[in-house]
Amino acid sequence: MSGGDWERFANLRLLFGYMYAQPGKKLLFMGDEFAQWDEWWNETSLAWHLAPQPPHAGVQRWVGDLNRVYRDVPALHQRDFSPDGFEWVDADDSQQSVLSFLRKSPATNEAVLAICNFTPIPRLHYRVGVPGGGFWKEILNSDATAYGGLGHGNLGGQEARAVPCHGRPFSLDLTLPPLAALFFKGPSARGSAPVS
């Protein structure tokens, strides 16, 4: 990866966040979970001495939290191989290098918004459409200081407003940290109230 260490670690956390948000099962090679510098090779052991160092420990914590959220949130795994488990919100924002999509669980009426900023530039007041009103809780943010990030985010979540965007009746006004993946869990489709 190009760039300095901060960019490399941020890009790796972004890559893992993007991968875990996508449909399909996940695969990491040995050493990836703590950002080993060298490619895994069967003739040597993993570089475990790196794991306690703060940036590597941050990546390891991020992968652990991604695994827990993936396991615990049905929208991220129940419909991995069905078209009704995934929906693009905006796949066309090439000007700002941002992708956003929903993972859905029709069985639980649950939705998770995944949004990724692929640039080292923070995006303030980035509006993204969501299918329902209510509070969208920020459940993961790869830029959190616990993972080695800068700590930019959305103070735990945002209320969806009745402002149409991306063909949806509600939207969120978000802060997108640089080189970051964010996950927001929406309220159940039942009982979400509009906010104006």
Q: What is the pLDDT of residues 33-83, one digit of tens each?
A: 877 877 776 777 777 777 887 898 999 999 999 999 999 999 999 988 888
Structure confidence at residue 194 as a pLDDT band (50, 70, 90): very low
What is the predicted pLDDT for the residue at 42?
74
Query: End-to-end CA distance of the chain, in Å?
Result: 44
Measure the CA–CA gap between 141 and 109, rounded to whole angstroms: 23
pLDDT at 4 over 70: yes
CATH 2.60.40.1180 fits 1-196, yes or no: yes
The pTM (predicted TM-score) of the whole model is 0.89
What is the predicted pLDDT for the residue at 133?
95
- Listed by start position, the domains of the chain span 1-196
Give the CA-trace dihedral at 15, 19, 21, 26, to 10 degrees: -140
pLDDT at 22 over 60: yes
What is the predicted pLDDT for the residue at 38?
76
Structure confidence at residue 160 as a pLDDT band (50, 70, 90): very high
**Cα 196 off chain centre by:** 26
Nearest C-alpha neighbor of 118 from the set 178, 63, 182, 62: 178
What is the predicted pLDDT for the residue at 191?
39
Distant-in-sequence, close-in-space partners of 29: CB < 8 Å, separation ≥ 6? 39, 40
What is the predicted pLDDT for the residue at 195?
38
pLDDT digits (tens, 9 = 90+) for 106-156: 888 899 999 999 999 999 999 999 999 999 999 999 999 999 999 999 999
